[in-house]
A = this chain, B = another copy of it.
């Protein structure tokens, strides 16, 4: 069985779960769903020593202390500290360049929730087999709703355990998303990828030669520091940041997808977090000192002050430090644009 190298990307803090998630307490490092943080759960999910190598974590200097504290249980963890954030293509390329060209890497966002771990692992190994044959594999997450906040993948010809990718599709409008759901051949693109490291770098060099060059130089001139690696800042600064979707996946003719239904959520806003948590009989999710009267499907959480709620449905109430957020679930998409979220 192919050993898989988890590559966990710990990027920006995100503002959509403000005020719980903040610059000083970024989303991946918070225990949002269960008792583990999203980052810890991501590492635990691929911590089977027979099937997974120790993780490689790509992060920025700002998150490094969180990463080191929360990855302590996983021996052999290596950390790549980006001099600055340059989007996912560069982050993945750094990890690929630090691995053996034949290594199979599983690229994972650090802030997603996956309820069905066996399904996740099975998909990873199916994808690993395709990656070994030279495919650049995306997880294609079976959609459960006509979601307009995600990109979609249209599957093409069948492969062993998956499909060639016919086309990556930008975030659709609602009518289009409903069509995708009815069609059955569309999956969500959850930003989870499996590559042979050398193949990924070859494809990057073919489609984004300048980016690939800059990464190669940043790694060659980089500096080891215990378990951490620091790419050369000057070389890295030359990079024009681009997502791996644009830079590689939409360009290559070797894109494949493995369909998977694994209770996935990007915990992209308070509604998604509400849905990822287990509710009581009335669908309410509370944490901390909360009294609810005549409420349904309410998420209420507080780090101290008591919250008392009467008569509400489908709203989120979050008390954190000196901030109180009250939003409808429909309005949760706008949280990141609030004054408090943008001026942290």
Asked whether any CB of chain B lies closer than 8 Å to the CB of A332, the reply is yes
Contact B315 A312 (CB under 8 A): yes
Contact A340 B291 (CB under 8 A): yes
Asked whether any CB of chain B lies closer than 8 Å to the CB of A310, the reply is yes
| Chain B residue contacts of A302, Cβ below 8 A | 324
Asked whether any CB of chain B lies closer than 8 Å to the CB of A307, the reply is yes
Among A311, A323, A327, A339, residue most surrounded by chain B Cβ atoms (within 10 Å): A311
Q: How many residues of A contact B (CB 8 A)?
A: 34
In the complex, residue of chain B having the shortest beta-carbon distance to the beta carbon of A291: B339
| Chain B residue contacts of A306, Cβ below 8 A | 322-324, 340
Whole-angstrom distance between the Cβ of A326 and the nearest chain B Cβ = 5
| Chain B residue contacts of A317, Cβ below 8 A | 324, 326
Contact B334 A293 (CB under 8 A): yes
| Chain B residue contacts of A328, Cβ below 8 A | 310-312
Contact B305 A326 (CB under 8 A): no
Asked whether any CB of chain B lies closer than 8 Å to the CB of A122, the reply is no
Determine which of B291, B322, B335, B340 lies in contact with A304 in the assembled complex, contact meaning CB atoms within 8 Å: B322
Contact with B along A304-344 (1 / 0, CB 8 A): 11111111100101010111111110111011011110000
Among A294, A322, A324, A334, residue most surrounded by chain B Cβ atoms (within 10 Å): A324
Contact B308 A325 (CB under 8 A): yes
Contact B331 A293 (CB under 8 A): yes
Q: Give Cα A334 to B307, complex, Å.
A: 15
Say whether, besides A291-B340, A293-B338, A308 and B324 are in contact (CB < 8 Å). yes
Q: Give Cα A331 to B326, complex, Å.
A: 17
Contact B327 A310 (CB under 8 A): yes
Contact with B along A232-245 (1 / 0, CB 8 A): 00000000000000
Say whether, besides A317-B324, A317-B326, A338 and B294 are in contact (CB < 8 Å). no
Among A308, A317, A322, A325, residue most surrounded by chain B Cβ atoms (within 10 Å): A308
| Chain B residue contacts of A293, Cβ below 8 A | 331, 334, 337-338
Contact A323 B309 (CB under 8 A): no
| Chain B residue contacts of A291, Cβ below 8 A | 338-340
User: Which A residues are within 8 Å of any B CB, using their own CB?
Assistant: 19, 291, 293-294, 302, 304-312, 315, 317, 319, 321-328, 330-332, 334-335, 337-340
A and B contact pairs by CB, cutoff 8 A, 22 listed: A19-B308, A291-B338, A293-B334, A294-B331, A294-B334, A302-B324, A305-B321, A305-B322, A305-B323, A306-B324, A306-B340, A308-B326, A308-B339, A310-B328, A310-B331, A310-B332, A311-B334, A312-B331, A315-B326, A317-B324, A317-B326, A319-B324
